[in-house]
Amino acid sequence: MIRALLWDVDGTLLNFKAAEKAAIRTLFAEYGFGDCTDAMLATYAEINDAYWKKLERGEMEKPQILVRRFEDFFSVIGVDPRLSAAFNKKYQLALGDTIVFCDDADQIVAELKGRIPQYGASNGTLAAQTKKLERSGLDQLLDGAFISDQIGFEKPDARFFIPVCERLEADVPGIRKEEILIVGDSLTSDIQGGVNVGIRTCWYHPEVAAGAAVDETAERPRIDYEIRDLHEIYDILDLTTS
Ligand SMILES: [Mg+2]
């Protein structure tokens, strides 16, 4: 039986891609860079993804990648890369300005509140994540939130989960690791992290429902559950008897 839920935030509870696009477009207008086209946003997404993968592999530090992604992006689109550090600072705050939930994440978390302890588990920066959790109301719905900036380690590092497990043991006396479920959209951070620390894993991958291709040959960490819509969490959590 699952007795506690760890929700990844970006891409799982919140539609991070929608917020990301809105924040970049707003800042392009503010800086007078002109229109940020869909093609430009796609270029940015590609550069950004590659840097986050480097972070997960421990090849780079977060402060470096936050600025470097914009330096690379600006170089490609013909904007002065020296503006990257200042742009990134504004971007971190602007990110919190657009709240878009995945599926009906807010309703689902609200519905589960009081029935099972729920926590956020995020690799985002403290400034951006705190603002997002507050603006979305998730800070009131969740029983707590763990942010890598505060812990000092990123998912999938098992050390990210040390304070998480300590808190869960205090909140849910006698809880065992296999009674904790992490729900996330990233195989490399959420699912691999769950595997590293020995808790159960649930991979949320809505893009498959939308028709995107999944590389079936890629090596994957152990996935205990797969869902394409967050409502499927009700089937995994057998709450009827509790
Ligand atoms: Mg995510």
pLDDT tens digits, 94-110: 887 778 899 999 999 99
- Which residue stretches of the chain have pLDDT < 50? 241-242
**Residue that finishes a domain, picked among 53, 69, 97:** 97
Same domain, 28 and 119: no
pLDDT of residue 209: 52
Domain-located, residue 206: yes
Q: Compute, in angstroms, the gap from residue 101 CA to the centroid of ligand 1.
A: 13
Q: Compute, in angstroms, the gap from residue 32 CA to the centroid of ligand 1.
A: 31
Pairing of strands 225-227, 180-184: unpaired
Name residues whose C-beta falls within 8 Å of residue 109's C-beta, 6 or more positions apart in sequence.
Answer: 7, 13, 118, 138, 141, 142
Same domain, 146 and 92: no
Domain-located, residue 41: yes
* Cα first-last separation, the chain: 10
Domain-located, residue 241: no
pLDDT of residue 98: 78
Same domain, 158 and 218: yes
Same domain, 228 and 111: yes
Same domain, 217 and 125: yes
Same domain, 157 and 181: yes
Residue with tokens 């009906």: 104
CATH at 46: 1.10.150.240
Same domain, 69 and 107: no
For residue 96, the surrounding DSSP H or E stretch is none
Total domains in the fold of the chain: 2
Same domain, 86 and 121: no
Pairing of strands 200-204, 118-122: unpaired
Same domain, 60 and 113: no
CATH at 134: 3.40.50.1000
Q: Compute, in angstroms, the gap from residue 82 CA to the centroid of ligand 1.
A: 29
**Residue that finishes a domain, picked among 97, 128, 158:** 97
What residue numbers bound the domain in which 214 lies?
Answer: 4-15+100-236
Same domain, 11 and 23: no
Q: Give the tens place of pLDDT for each residue, 73-131.
A: 999 999 999 999 999 999 988 887 778 899 999 999 999 999 999 999 999 889 888 98
Q: Compute, in angstroms, the gap from residue 134 CA to the centroid of ligand 1.
A: 18
- Which residue among the candidates 8, 10, 72, 103 is catalytic per the annotation? 8
Contact between 195 and 202 (Cβ < 8 Å): no
Q: Compute, in angstroms, the gap from residue 9 CA to the centroid of ligand 1.
A: 6
pLDDT of residue 204: 97
pLDDT of residue 242: 46
Domain-located, residue 219: yes
In the residue annotation, 8 being an active-site residue is answered as yes
